[in-house]
Amino acid sequence: MNELRQLARELLVDEKVDVVIGWEDGRRGARPAFVTAADDAERLIFDTRCVHNLATYLSPRRSHLAELGKVGLVVKGCDAKAVAGLLREAQLPRDRVVLIGVRCGGVLEVPDLPQPAELTSETVAPRCFRCDVREPHLADHLVGEERPDPPRPPMTIDERVAAVDALPVEQRWEFWVGQFSKCVRCYACRQVCPLCVCDRCIADKSLPQWVESASHPRGNLAWNLVRALHLAGRCVNCGECERFCPVGIPLSLVNRKLQQVVKQRFGYVVSDDPEAATPVGDYRLDDAQEFIR
Amino acid sequence: MTTPRHERPPATIYEPQLVTVVDTVDETADTRTLRLEFKDTGLRESFSFRAGQFGEYSAFGAGEATLCIASPPTRAGAIECTFKAVGKVTTALRELNVGDTMGFRGPYGNWFPVDEWRGKDLVFVAGGIGLAPMRCVIWNVLDRRDEFGAVTIVYGARSVADLVYKRELKQWAERDDVTMVTTVDPGGETADWDGRVGFVPAVLDEVAPAGGDAVAVVCGPPVMIKFTFPVLEKLGFTDDDVFTTLEMRMKCGVGKCGRCNIGPVYVCKDGPVFTATQLKALPAEY
Amino acid sequence: MSERPREDPVFLAADALDGLAGDLIAAGTEVVGPARADEPASPAAAAAAAAAAAAGLDKDVLEYRAVSRAADLALGPGMPRLSLKGLYLPQNEALFAWRQRGSDIEIEPAPTGARTRVVLGAKPCDAAALAIVDDVMNWDYADALWNGRREATTVFVLACGVEDDSCFCAAVGLAPDGSRGADGLLTPVEGGWLVEATSEKGAALVAAHAARFGAASAERREQAAAFRRTASERVATHLEIDADSVRDWIATHFDDPLLAALGVRCNGCGACASVCPTCHCFDIVEESDGLGHGTRRRCWDTCQSHKFTLHASGHNPRADQNARFRQRLNHKFAIYPLRFGEVLCTGCGRCARACHAGQDLVEILGAIDVAARRPDTVDVQSPETPARTVGAAAPASER
Q: What is the CATH number of the domain that holds B35?
A: 2.40.30.10
| A186 and A249 part of one domain | yes
d(CA A256, CA A253): 5
In A76-227, beta strands by DSSP E: 97-102, 141-143
Does the residue B271 lie in any domain?
A: no
Percent composition of chain C: helix, strand, coil (DSSP 3-state, to 5): 40, 20, 40
Residues of C in contact with B99 (CB under 8 A): 103
| A237 and A189 part of one domain | yes
Cβ–Cβ gap C311/B12 under 8 Å: no
Does the residue B251 lie in any domain?
A: no
- Predicted pLDDT at C3: 53
| B65 and B182 part of one domain | no
**DSSP helix/strand/coil, A293:** coil
Cβ–Cβ gap C281/B259 under 8 Å: yes
Q: What confidence category does residue C97 fall into, taking pLDDT thresholds of 50, 70 and 90?
A: very high
- The minimum CA-CA distance between B88 and chain A, rounded to whole Å, is 6
Nearest to A115 by CA among A176, A33, A47: A47
Least confident range from C59-73, C95-109, C279-293, C377-391: namely: C377-391
Q: What confidence category does residue A42 fall into, taking pLDDT thresholds of 50, 70 and 90?
A: very high
- Predicted pLDDT at C58: 62
- The minimum CA-CA distance between C391 and chain B, rounded to whole Å, is 24
- Beta strand pairing status for B242-245 and B261-262? unpaired
What mean pLDDT, rounded, does chain A reach?
92
In sequence order, what are the beta bridge partners of C298? Answer: C93, C284
| B49 and B33 part of one domain | yes
Top-ranked range on mean pLDDT: pick from A157-171, C25-39, C269-283: C269-283
Cβ–Cβ gap C267/A244 under 8 Å: yes
Residues of C in contact with B256 (CB under 8 A): 136-137, 139, 141, 143, 280, 282
Q: What is the ipTM of this complex?
A: 0.91
In this complex, the residue of C44, C265, C287 whose CB is nearest that of residue A31 is C265
| B122 and B91 part of one domain | no
* C390 has pLDDT over 50: no
Q: What is the DSSP string of A143-183?
A: ES---PPPPPPSS-HHHHHHHHHTS-HHHHHHHHHHHHHT-
The H or E element spanning position C144 is helix C144-152
Task: Calculate the CA B98 to chain-centre distance.
Answer: 22
Cβ–Cβ gap B91/A207 under 8 Å: yes
Domain assignment of residue A168, given as a range: 157-266
What's the total number of domains in chain B? 2
Does the residue B277 lie in any domain?
A: no
Cβ–Cβ gap A26/C363 under 8 Å: yes
- Predicted pLDDT at C4: 53
Q: What confidence category does residue C377 fall into, taking pLDDT thresholds of 50, 70 and 90?
A: low
Cβ–Cβ gap C98/B60 under 8 Å: yes
| A102 and A137 part of one domain | yes
**DSSP helix/strand/coil, C353:** helix
Does the residue A22 lie in any domain?
A: yes
pTM, full prediction: 0.92
**What's the average model confidence in pLDDT over C349-359?**
94
> Which A residues 69-108 touch C at CB under 8 Å?
none
* A16 has pLDDT over 50: yes
**What's the average model confidence in pLDDT over A255-278?**
92
Tell the burial category of C190 from Cβ atoms under 10 Å away from its Cβ (0-12, 13-18, 19+): exposed
- Predicted pLDDT at B185: 93
In sequence order, what are the beta bridge partners of C118? Answer: C31, C154
C53 phi, psi to nearest 5 deg: -65, -40
d(CA C113, CA B148): 51
- Predicted pLDDT at A67: 85
| B26 and B90 part of one domain | yes
The H or E element spanning position B18 is strand B17-26
Instruction: Show which subunits contact C, needing at least 3 CB pairs below 8 angstroms.
Output: A, B
- Predicted pLDDT at C382: 37
* A128 has pLDDT over 90: yes
- Predicted pLDDT at C376: 61
The H or E element spanning position C124 is helix C124-137
Residues of C in contact with A213 (CB under 8 A): 283, 285, 299
Dihedral in degrees, nearest 10, Cα atoms B112, B117, B120, B124: 10
What's the total number of domains in chain A? 2
| B86 and B159 part of one domain | no
| A203 and A97 part of one domain | no
d(CA B97, CA B101): 9
| A26 and A109 part of one domain | yes
Task: Tally the C-alpha atoms within 13 A of residue C249's C-alpha that lie toward its C-beta.
Answer: 24
CA separation (Å) from C2 to C182, C229, C371? Answer: 12, 10, 29
* C134 has pLDDT over 50: yes
| A6 and A125 part of one domain | yes
CA separation (Å) from C357 to A81, B93, C75, C271, C382? Answer: 20, 42, 31, 11, 20
Least confident range from A144-148, B220-224, C58-62: namely: C58-62
| B59 and B145 part of one domain | no
| B237 and B136 part of one domain | yes
- Predicted pLDDT at C383: 34
Does the residue B273 lie in any domain?
A: no
| A122 and A172 part of one domain | no
The H or E element spanning position C232 is helix C218-236
Q: Which of B64, B89, B108 is a domain's end point? A: B108
Q: What confidence category does residue C395 fall into, taking pLDDT thresholds of 50, 70 and 90?
A: very low
- Predicted pLDDT at C257: 86
What mean pLDDT, rounded, does chain C reach?
88
Size of interface B-C (CB pairs under 8 A): 132
- Predicted pLDDT at A174: 87
| B44 and B119 part of one domain | no
For an interface test with C, give the residue of B19, B84, B226, B285 to mutate (most C CBs within 10 A): B285
Single-letter amino acid, residue B69: I
d(CA B129, CA A279): 48
Does the residue A148 lie in any domain?
A: no
Cβ–Cβ gap B91/A209 under 8 Å: no
Q: What confidence category does residue A225 fall into, taking pLDDT thresholds of 50, 70 and 90?
A: very high
- Predicted pLDDT at B260: 93
Considering only alpha carbons, which residue of chain A is nearest residue B91? Answer: A207
Does the residue B233 lie in any domain?
A: yes
For an interface test with A, give the residue of B88, B249, B257 to mutate (most A CBs within 10 A): B88
Considering only alpha carbons, which residue of chain B is nearest residue C333? Answer: B264
- Predicted pLDDT at A91: 92
**What's the average model confidence in pLDDT over A259-269?**
91
Nearest to C99 by CA among C285, C371, C288, C337: C288
- Beta strand pairing status for C63-66 and C293-300? unpaired
Q: How many other CB atoms are found less than 10 A from the CB of residue A96? A: 13
A207 interface with C at CB cutoff 8 Å = no
Q: What is the DSSP string of A18-79?
A: SEEEEEEEETTEEEEEEE-SGGGGGG-B-STT----GGGGG-TT-HHHHTT-SEEEEE-HHH
- Name the stretches of chain B with pLDDT < 50: none
| B98 and B132 part of one domain | no
For an interface test with C, give the residue of A191, A242, A253 to mutate (most C CBs within 10 A): A191
In this complex, the residue of C139, C296, C323 whose CB is nearest that of residue B285 is C323
Residues of A in contact with B91 (CB under 8 A): 207
Q: Is the dihedral of CA A45, A49, A51, A52 positive or negative?
A: negative
Q: What is the pLDDT of residues B119-139, one digit of tens each?
A: 999 999 999 999 998 999 999
Which residues on chain B place their C-beta less than 8 Å from a C-beta of chain A? 87-88, 91
Task: Calculate the CA C7 to chain-centre distance.
Answer: 26
Considering only alpha carbons, which residue of chain A is nearest residue B88? Answer: A207
Least confident range from A252-261, C52-61, C63-72: namely: C52-61
Cβ–Cβ gap B87/A206 under 8 Å: yes
d(CA C232, CA C216): 22
Q: What confidence category does residue C373 fall into, taking pLDDT thresholds of 50, 70 and 90?
A: confident
Q: What's the full length of chain C, in residues?
A: 399
d(CA B39, CA B49): 18
Q: Is the dihedral of CA C328, C331, C333, C334 positive or negative?
A: positive
Q: Which of B108, B128, B148 is a domain's end point? A: B108
Size of interface A-B (CB pairs under 8 A): 6
- Predicted pLDDT at C5: 59
Question: What region does C215 belong to: left with phi over 0, alpha with psi -120 to 50, or beta?
Answer: beta
d(CA C323, CA C268): 11
Q: Are C12 and C216 in contact (CB under 8 A)?
A: no
**DSSP helix/strand/coil, C100:** strand
- Predicted pLDDT at A293: 77
CATH code of the domain containing B158: 3.40.50.80
- The minimum CA-CA distance between B35 and chain A, rounded to whole Å, is 25
| A16 and A136 part of one domain | yes
Considering only alpha carbons, which residue of chain C is nearest residue B85? Answer: C312
Domain assignment of residue B57, given as a range: 5-108
Cβ–Cβ gap C47/A167 under 8 Å: yes
Q: What is the pLDDT of residues C137-179, one digit of tens each?
A: 999 899 999 999 999 999 999 999 999 999 999 999 999 999 9
* A52 has pLDDT over 80: yes
| B133 and B231 part of one domain | yes
Q: What confidence category does residue C399 fall into, taking pLDDT thresholds of 50, 70 and 90?
A: very low
Considering only alpha carbons, which residue of chain C is nearest residue A169? Answer: C44
- The minimum CA-CA distance between A89 and chain B, rounded to whole Å, is 30
Does the residue A151 lie in any domain?
A: no
Residues of B in contact with C311 (CB under 8 A): 247, 249
User: Considering chain C, what percentage of its residues have pLDDT values greater than 90?
Assistant: 75
